[in-house]
A and B are shown apart, each in its own frame.
Chain A
């Protein structure tokens, strides 16, 4: 998913830095609105640690396609070769604290979760008492929504996590479904680390969701620094904009001072948590509620910005 060459599909991502500020709600709503507008959409959830986007769509389980990936390798201990010399511990073969010594049995114990699969133990042990092998690390799903467009998501297997790699795998998997698509809309992970970097790679435009609280402001500023590092254009949405007045003013000032693109705000609307508990996008659940009306306006602004670019 790099560059713009694959059929001129426009790739949009939604991030926020801070979790729980409305990424999935806004992604789902924009997907619905773009689809209603006649655009061919592919939805992708790259929050591989907590993939929630599909929970907001009615998906046809019969049309589900899955693929298990093995992006992670882990070490294993080979008992019959071990001479119990303890060199692996004394010489600190493992820098990830995944090798501990069981003094009673005089054997090394591998913490498979902490193991990063670097293979140091297998290379350095003079008796070849460690091996390394791939393990199942995650599953990718492609589904078809009630509105008949593909929705792709990846989910890591707990304890086998290499979230960044899983994000890249999920984006790669989504490539199979891009034919004829106009927009790919990606729900991103929280944070600013490896999975976010993998999500942002190759995007054409990013939507940054903020809330009028200092925590969200702080975290969004950090993710904007990262987006600027990638040189990707972005626009800001303020969710629950009426939650705190001073915070709202701070964000507006920040946007103005930096000359950032502002896409609009969404008021607090109790129909939103209600829609989430019913597992529906707010656009489907309450199309005339204040949040839906605000999202329609944001969608219009977004299309204008995208057309200009």
Chain B
């Protein structure tokens, strides 16, 4: 089994578009699991024209709840909390400042009077869609919640325990959120390789530099795909970053009216190979990338 992450730094460069079409293309010959780890804005299902029905799992997260009768008002929990999430006034039961809590459970673990209980709150949901040769796992953050990282960690655990270890997938594709922060780090934690999708502009270059720095720190090899490669006359910038990190540019996907239309209708272009033909300017790029992955 091979695991590949799709990331890119800048938003809107076509990460999900690439992840979905790679997964669909691979699923012609292999068993594939596609994981949508952009829990803020999961879009894989939209590009696959699928609806998300019943969640397969509600994901919750620990928050401390203090039993006022058991609490001896010592303030130890407040002193050890490095996020200042427990506010303590002498002789009073500490109060939780919920947005600051990182759910580390240390307060519960050190409370001398065992007065802290777990108050599990819902932070998001997981959805699972079974397909013929391709399954889809989606995490979706509850609006208003700031807990995307624990949601991604629990989704990856679910993927490993319930799916990957039980089914014989040949490929796992993980689509990440934009940026180069903890959500992206955790989404990429299990992957062997990363494909970074960028656009040929100074903004694409700047953010590609950052995501490749992250890949380097976490020790993942990364390749580059330039999407909408002919959108602007921008020479040399992406090549410069490619050289700096030793990451190969494995494909340049041109602008295409067919992509725009299928994208808008929720039809992955790789599912239309029979309609457009293997020599279609975009399809042939995906065939090339898939050849590199499977070869």
Residues of chain A having any CB pair with chain B under 8 Å: 17-21, 24, 49-50, 52, 55, 73, 95-97, 113-114, 116-120, 123-124, 132, 156, 158-159, 161-164, 189-197, 212-215, 218-219, 222, 225-226, 229, 243-244, 246-247, 273-274, 276-277, 279
Contacts and interface: CB of A to CB of B under 8 A. Distances in A.
Contacts of A161: 180-182, 185
B27 interface: no
Contacts of A214: 46, 264, 266
A158 B106 contact: no
Interface string B195-229: 00001111100110010011001100000000000
Contacts of A20: 10-13, 178, 199
Interface residues of B, number: 61
Interface of B: 9-13, 16, 39-41, 43, 46-47, 80, 82-83, 99, 102-106, 109-110, 141, 143-146, 148, 153, 177-183, 185-186, 189, 199-203, 206-207, 210, 213-214, 217-218, 231-234, 260-261, 263-264, 266
A192 B13 contact: no
Contact of B206 (A52, A190, A219, A222): A52
19 contacts: A18-B43, A20-B10, A49-B210, A50-B10, A52-B206, A95-B104, A97-B153, A118-B102, A120-B109, A189-B179, A190-B177, A191-B178, A214-B46, A219-B40, A222-B143, A244-B264, A276-B202, A277-B201, A279-B202
Nearest to B146: A194
Given A20-B11, A118-B104, 14 more contacts: A20-B13, A95-B103, A97-B153, A113-B217, A116-B102, A164-B146, A191-B179, A195-B181, A225-B144, A226-B143, A246-B264, A273-B201, A274-B233, A276-B203
B203 A55 contact: yes
Nearest to B179: A49
Nearest to A243: B260
Contacts of A156: 180-181
Contacts of A96: 104, 153
A1 B145 CA distance: 21
Contacts of B12: 18-21, 190
B185 A49 contact: no
Given A190-B41, A215-B16, A215-B46, A120 B179 contact: no
Interface residue SS majority, chain B: loop
Contacts of B47: 215
B202 A158 contact: no
B200 to A, nearest CB: 8
B210 A123 contact: no
A97 B10 CA distance: 27
Contact of A119 (B82, B99, B179): B82
Contacts of A190: 11-12, 40-41, 177-179
A277 B266 contact: no
A15 B211 CA distance: 22
Contacts of A243: 260, 264
Contacts of B233: 274, 277
B260 A274 contact: no
Contacts of B82: 73, 117-119, 132
Contacts of B185: 113-114, 159, 161
B170 to A, nearest CB: 26
A281 to B, nearest CB: 13
Contacts of B178: 19-20, 49-50, 190-191
B102 A50 contact: no
A16 to B, nearest CB: 8
Nearest to A49: B179
A123 B153 contact: no
A229 B106 CA distance: 30
B121 to A, nearest CB: 15
Contacts of B266: 214
